[in-house]
């Protein structure tokens, strides 16, 4: 009886060790083995050179540059699939790159393409957490390898942004003027969004935007700025500055504002913009994706929510 008890105890210890080892294996990053498959030409806007990069290796630098590495893994996976789809669409449809990077498929400037961070830069940025964070990014990219988003059989344009500001994302038609079925406004569960206030001298705005605010104030005493139109989600759509009307998205870009969810006021010779959120607000909200992942949703559910009507397929 004693021998049987000892044998059972040994088996239990062995089984426990095996189970623990299995769990550890699940957490290990999958090693990327560059294949002689899809490559892309990447214009490095800092060096001015075009580099040839393997797709899945490129995506590691993109996901690391676009999303905080400590976000939930399901959010990182969703980001990897969105970034892969974005990249492939631009490789296959070079006429849509608008000449930002002649001779290349994409560039490293996030204002034109996707953010991209080299391995050397990641080591500096992450310091002692480099290996841990890199393992999470590699896991997200590798566990979704080859997966892309399509709508009615065609690769989508999976735009994304850091923070919609809470409540809802924005529809493409209200930001860029054209309707895309899978880029419509959807509810968002982001709770922690950035708020920023920036003040600009009226003379500076006249210089940057070519407006006549100083002259108008002197001649008529009229208010130099007025919000003239909002979208259904409350974002500013159009702003009147002096005698000119601008799309709010243009103002955001040219003045370096974080969002078009804004209030505008004047104080002396300055115009003050207070914004909520970060980015254009269309498509996947990265903070919202993290919130959904924290609620237990997987990457398929996250992508289905932010890109309604799309499907995930394995690209061949």
Q: For position 35, what pLDDT does the model report?
A: 43
161 by DSSP, 3-state: which? strand
Q: Which positions of the chain have pLDDT values less than 70?
A: 1-36, 95-100, 217-222
- Beta-bridged to residue 246, according to DSSP, are 239
Please give the order of strands across the beta sheet that includes 311-314. 154-155, 147-151, 311-314
Determine the pLDDT at residue 58. 96
Domain boundaries, the chain: 39-161+282-314, 195-276
Residue 171, CB half-sphere, CA atoms under 13 Å: how many?
14
CA angle 61, 62, 64 (to 5 degrees): 65
**pTM for this entry:** 0.83
Looking at residue 194, the DSSP 8-state letter turns out to be -
Instruction: Give residue 95's pLDDT.
Output: 58
- Residue keyed to tokens 């044998």: 7
The pLDDT assigned to 100 comes to 65
How many whole angstroms separate alpha carbon 84 and alpha carbon 234? 31
The predicted pLDDT at position 243 comes to 86
pLDDT of residue 93: 83
Residue 61 has which token pair? 């630098």
Residue tagged 């070079």 (tokens): 94
- Give the span between the Cα atoms of 9 and 268, in whole angstroms: 80
């Amino acid at each position: 009886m004693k021998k049987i008890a000892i044998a059972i105890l040994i088996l239990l210890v062995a089984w426990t060790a095996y189970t623990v080892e299995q769990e550890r294996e699940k957490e290990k990053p999958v090693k990327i083995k560059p294949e002689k498959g899809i490559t892309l030409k990447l214009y490095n806007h800092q060096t001015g050179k075009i580099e040839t990069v393997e797709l899945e290796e490129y995506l590691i630098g993109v996901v690391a540059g676009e999303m905080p590495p400590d976000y939930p893994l399901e959010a990182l996976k969703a980001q990897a699939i969105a970034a892969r789809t974005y990249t492939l669409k631009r490789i296959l449809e070079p006429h849509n790159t608008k000449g930002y990077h002649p001779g290349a498929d994409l560039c490293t400037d996030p204002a034109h393409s996707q953010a991209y961070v080299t391995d050397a830069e990641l080591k500096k940025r992450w310091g002692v957490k480099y290996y841990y964070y890199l393992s999470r990014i590699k896991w997200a990219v590798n566990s979704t390898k080859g997966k892309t988003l399509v709508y009615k059989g065609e690769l989508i344009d999976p735009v994304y942004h850091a923070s919609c500001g809470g409540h809802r994302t924005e529809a493409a038609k209200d930001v860029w003027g054209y309707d895309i079925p899978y880029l419509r406004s959807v509810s968002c569960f982001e709770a922690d969004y950035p708020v920023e206030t920036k003040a600009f001298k009226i003379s500076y705005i006249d210089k940057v935007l070519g407006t006549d605010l100083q002259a108008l104030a002197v001649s008529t005493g009229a208010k130099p700025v007025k919000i003239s139109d909002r979208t259904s989600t409350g974002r500013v759509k159009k702003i009147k500055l002096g005698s000119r009307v601008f799309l709010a998205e243009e103002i955001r870009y040219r003045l370096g504002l974080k969002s078009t969810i804004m209030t505008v006021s004047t104080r002396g010779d300055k115009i003050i913009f207070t914004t909520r959120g970060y980015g254009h607000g269309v498509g996947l909200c990265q903070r919202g994706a993290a919130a959904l992942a924290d609620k237990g949703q997987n990457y398929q559910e996250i992508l289905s929510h932010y890109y309604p009507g799309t499907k995930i397929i394995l690209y061949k």
